[in-house]
Structures are given as structure tokens and as C-alpha cells.
Chain A
């Protein structure tokens, strides 16, 4: 078990190191990131001054090493526009994105998992086919369109919910639904497959033969076994939700990391954009490791052999 954990952690560190390197070099694709930070009207002297102040006139290898050294100290640099540490700026927006992602995760689990169970129990019927088409439809919805449609129906026409910006719980409802519908499809599919897998097993037939009802079977026996794939999916979906928040936050003027990213791109505040991307990658890597660990706790057989995918 310990060896398995250490190997997973080692792999994750290696991947994270690769991610940092990739992001560092993407920024140098056009040569010099100074141009990303300055308005187009900047003079040559401005550019030189900025280049020197930020150390972009140093050799590439030196820049790379100091980039890594800063990150080890959790220093994401300073925002040139707001003149604040990037970590502070991100910290002030993070709670909003976490709230939104949490709301979306709740929506997608609460709809997706029961839907998957119903689809599995009615496997092969027209009803299940209709449901699975609906799931694909939800997956095909562009979030920025479903967001606008939700605003149109529930805020503009019916006036039940506020159309945009943050506030009380009611402000969270529409963006959570818009974002959650995407992941809902994933949860429904995975639940359906997992339950179908379990239903075909011996113990289910035995239990049925003993006269155990379907409802009891699902809640007592299937739920635990089917939860294994769901845990992995949930971990992966959280990082998807955080990424999807960029678009949804723009639609609903929600003051989280997504809106911050877009504002920073427009105002050419590149250090902030880089910070958000690094954070997104870090969270994804951490969640992947956590999924692996949880997986091995729920199903101890995993550590002995390769993880089934």
C-alpha cells in the first residue's frame, strides 16, 4: 500500500513538473512575454524597461529556474495591472468558483446518479432509450447557450431568479444548473454502466431469488459496489467543472476565477492568467492522485494489480 502511494505521488510530481515546463514554454512561443504585458501603444523604451524589470532579458534557462524556484515557494508573481501578489488576487476569487463548482456538482450528482440507476433498471426498454437520448442532448448543450436560455426563461420571462452576478443562494441556482448539466451526462452514463455490471453478477441473482426487493437491492448492495467508478469520475469531473466555470462565469457575470481569467486576458495581465492555469493543472493532478488513493481504499485489490479503467 505505501509503495503504491509513493509511486502514485512520484508520478504526479513528475507530471506536475512537466505541466510547469509546458506552461513556461508556451508563454515563450512568440519569443518574449513582455509584449503580452504591455498595451500595443508602448514605446520601445517602455518595452526595454519592462523587460529588464521582470527579468525577461536574462538567459532562458535562468528564467526557467527562477520560475520554478518561485513556484516552490508558492509565489505566482505579481499582477502588473493591480500591483498585488497573484496569490492574493486568486485567493479573493477562489471561494466564488468553489461555490459554483460545488453547486454544479450537486446538480449533476442529484440528477445524474438517479437517472443512471433508472436507465440501468429499465435497460432495453424504449423508456431507457429516450432517457439516454436526453442525456446525450444535455451533454451536447453549449454551456453558454444553455446559460442564456436559462436566463431568458427564469430571469427575463418568469422573473423567478436573478439573471447575473453573485449574491444569495438564488444567484447560484442558474449558473449551477448550466454548468452541472454537462457533468450530469457523465454521471448518468457511468452509473448506468456500473449498475448494469453489478446486475449481471451472481450475488444479485441470489438476492433476487431470496426475495430481496429491487429498491433494497439497489440501496444496500449495488450502491457500494457501483460507487467505485463514480469516485474516479467525480474527481475528474471536478476539474472539468472548474475549467467549465470560465465560460459559465462569463455568461452570468459571476465574480470567480473564470471571470478573473477573462478580465486578465483583456487587460493583458498575463501573470494572473498563468496563475489560474497553473492552479487548474495543480488541482487536476491532485484530484487524480486522490481518485487513485480512494479507489485503492474502496477496492483493496487495486494495489495488487493494475487499475482497471
Chain B
């Protein structure tokens, strides 16, 4: 019976081989275009991980004799490669340490909002009925409040700080993942293999995790990459406004806020941290575009 329905063994085999070859070709194509971006991102991640060992100076040590020194100047044997800030702290060391806050906040908030949003979106798309109505209505509500305003009011209530910023960013951004997970799950929930699994007694959790999640992962990764850049910008904006990570912890956004007051006399304070911020967000956004091509070439 089964033998009659299944295609001949070797034909299926060669079809599988062709699919594998196509997948490998796509992977090679993706890597050949993405490697400069991956290099930039790895450099920033390494800088963040090994900041205490790479940074030439203590990012918190103030030196009133060495205030607002131009890049490349040397004061009492301390070389300020990128200059010093208004308190005489070494800008290069602060920029390196600043990568830690940006990456930590972005990674945690993307993970948190991604997990929450995906779970809710899949539940809405698979169960339908009242969970769908409640969850999707909630995403409408959250997306109607401009994200940065929602984040500002929530931080103003909870108080600033690293953990609160992550919580607030997750609170404002989960609907993005929920929408994507919902639409994708809805499309898949009647796919033959999902119906088969249900027919054979697969539970909801089993079907969602084993059959649906792996198939919607590509779309979610693309969203997460683009959201990552946005989270970096949001954290920097909140820190710039004084609502993010509190001083003296080095954060690129907060450094820019301090640099704004010295823009006429010490341009380097705002230019270098801003450039790192720009580089990180740009690399993530370009990577997101490439990933979209990779996972779904039809979109182009």
C-alpha cells in the first residue's frame, strides 16, 4: 500500500539532493554578501565582551587636568587616542565600554519581546476564537501608541536603569513579533503535515513547537534583526534623554547627550560614540535586508 503511494526511492533521493544543493548555494551567496557586516558585528561584540582588557584606560577615572583634550593628545603620560570628555575621562575606553550597554540591552529586549510576542502570536493564529480576538486587539492597542512615547511614560513611572529599560522595550515591541507569528501560523495551521499531526493525536504545544515554530523561524529572525537595530536606537534615545542607563556607566546615548553641550569646543565627544551607534545599527539593518533575501527571495 505505502509502496504504491510513495514515489520511487531514487527519484525522491535525487530531489532531496537538488534541494540540499540549492540550500547550500543560497547559504554561500548569503555569506559572500554578508561577511563585511558579520565582521563589523563580531568586532563590536568582541569589544563589548573583552572591554576591560581592550580599553587602554579606566572608563570611569576622571582627570581634571585632562579635560576636553583633543584626539591624540597626551596629558601626564596618558594618551587620549580619541580625546577626553568634560570630566577628563578617556573617550576611547568609554566608547569600548559603551558597546556593552547597547548590545546587552538590545539582545535582552529582542529575546524577551521575541519570545513573548511569538508565543502570543502563535497561540492567536493556531487556536483562533477568543484568544485570537484578545491578543490581536491588544497588538492594535500597543501599536497605536508611538513606541518611544510608550517607552518614555513607562520608564518615567518605573524609574530609569538597565533592567527597567529592557522590560519597557520588551513591553513596547512584542506586538511586532506577535503580528508576524500570527500571520505565519494562520497560514500554516491547515497545512497537510499539521493536519496529519493533529489527526495522529499531536497536542497543541507539540504542534506549535515541532511543526509550526521551525517553519516560521525565518520570518521571525528577519523581524528580530531589524528590531535589534531599532532597540539599539531606542536605548540610546532613552539614555540621551536621561531616562536610560544612569551615569557614570558609559552608554553611547548618554555620551552624546553630554557631548551636545560641547559641540562647539569638543566635537569628538559626540562624534565618536554616535558613529559607533550608527555603524552597529547600519550593519544590523543591512544584515536584516540580506536575511530577508536569503529566507524569502520572492520578496525582492
| Interface set of A (CB-CB < 8 Å, partner B) | 11, 14-16, 18-19, 22-23, 26-27, 29-30, 33, 36, 133, 136-137, 139-145, 148-149, 151-152, 156, 163, 239-240, 242-244, 246-247, 250-251, 261-262, 265-266, 270, 273-274, 276-277, 280-281, 284-285, 288
**B274 close to A (CB within 8 Å):** yes
Chain B residue numbers with a CB within 8 Å of A33 are 157
Whether the Cβ atoms of A140 and B278 lie closer than 8 Å is yes
Contact (A142, B144) CB under 8 Å given A29-B157, A30-B157, A265-B243: no
Binding site secondary structure of chain A: helix
Whether the Cβ atoms of B144 and A15 lie closer than 8 Å is yes
B57 to chain A, nearest CB (A): 24
**B240 close to A (CB within 8 Å):** yes
Contact (A277, B285) CB under 8 Å given A23-B145, A142-B236, A239-B146: no
- Name B288's closest neighbour in chain A (CB-CB): A136
Chain B residue numbers with a CB within 8 Å of A137 are 278, 282
| 9 tightest Cβ-Cβ pairs between the two chains A and B | A145-B274, A243-B146, A18-B141, A140-B282, A140-B281, A281-B145, A148-B270, A280-B149, A243-B148
Interface size class of chain B, counting residues whose CB lies under 8 Å from the partner chain: 35 or more
Whether the Cβ atoms of A36 and B157 lie closer than 8 Å is yes
Chain A residue numbers with a CB within 8 Å of B281 are 140, 142
Q: Which of B235-270 contact A (CB under 8 A)?
A: 236-237, 240-243, 253, 256-257, 259-260, 263-264, 267, 270
A280 to chain B, nearest CB (A): 5
Q: CA of A274 to CA of B152 in the docked complex: distance in angstroms? A: 10
Whether the Cβ atoms of B148 and A247 lie closer than 8 Å is yes
- Name A30's closest neighbour in chain B (CB-CB): B157
Chain B residue numbers with a CB within 8 Å of A262 are 241-242
Whether the Cβ atoms of B153 and A284 lie closer than 8 Å is no
Contact (A250, B141) CB under 8 Å given A148-B256, A148-B259, A280-B149: no
Q: CA of A148 to CA of B260 in the docked complex: distance in angstroms? A: 7
**B271 close to A (CB within 8 Å):** yes
Whether the Cβ atoms of A250 and B241 lie closer than 8 Å is yes
Whether the Cβ atoms of B256 and A141 lie closer than 8 Å is no
Q: How many CB-defined contacts (below 8 Å) exist between A and B? A: 141
- Name which of A27, A33, A142, A280 has the most chain B CB atoms within 10 A of its CB: A142
Whether the Cβ atoms of A261 and B144 lie closer than 8 Å is no
Whether the Cβ atoms of A148 and B148 lie closer than 8 Å is no
Q: CA of A284 to CA of B144 in the docked complex: distance in angstroms? A: 6
Contact (A240, B146) CB under 8 Å given A18-B141, A30-B157, A30-B158: yes
Q: CA of A71 to CA of B259 in the docked complex: distance in angstroms? A: 40
Whether the Cβ atoms of B263 and A152 lie closer than 8 Å is yes
Whether the Cβ atoms of A16 and B152 lie closer than 8 Å is no
**B286 close to A (CB within 8 Å):** yes
Whether the Cβ atoms of A36 and B274 lie closer than 8 Å is no
Q: CA of A156 to CA of B282 in the docked complex: distance in angstroms? A: 27
- Name which of B137, B149, B240, B281 has the most chain A CB atoms within 10 A of its CB: B149
Whether the Cβ atoms of A285 and B158 lie closer than 8 Å is no
Q: Which of A14, A29, A251 contacts B260 (CB 8 A)?
A: A251
Q: CA of A33 to CA of B156 in the docked complex: distance in angstroms? A: 11
Q: CA of A22 to CA of B83 in the docked complex: distance in angstroms? A: 46
**B233 close to A (CB within 8 Å):** yes
**B74 close to A (CB within 8 Å):** no
Chain A residue numbers with a CB within 8 Å of B144 are 15-16, 18-19, 281, 284-285, 288
Q: CA of A139 to CA of B285 in the docked complex: distance in angstroms? A: 9
Chain A residue numbers with a CB within 8 Å of B141 are 15, 18-19, 22
Whether the Cβ atoms of B145 and A246 lie closer than 8 Å is no
- Name which of B138, B157, B237 has the most chain A CB atoms within 10 A of its CB: B157
Chain B residue numbers with a CB within 8 Å of A148 are 256, 259-260, 263, 270-271, 274
Whether the Cβ atoms of A149 and B274 lie closer than 8 Å is yes
Q: Which of A11, A265, A281 contacts B156 (CB 8 A)?
A: A265
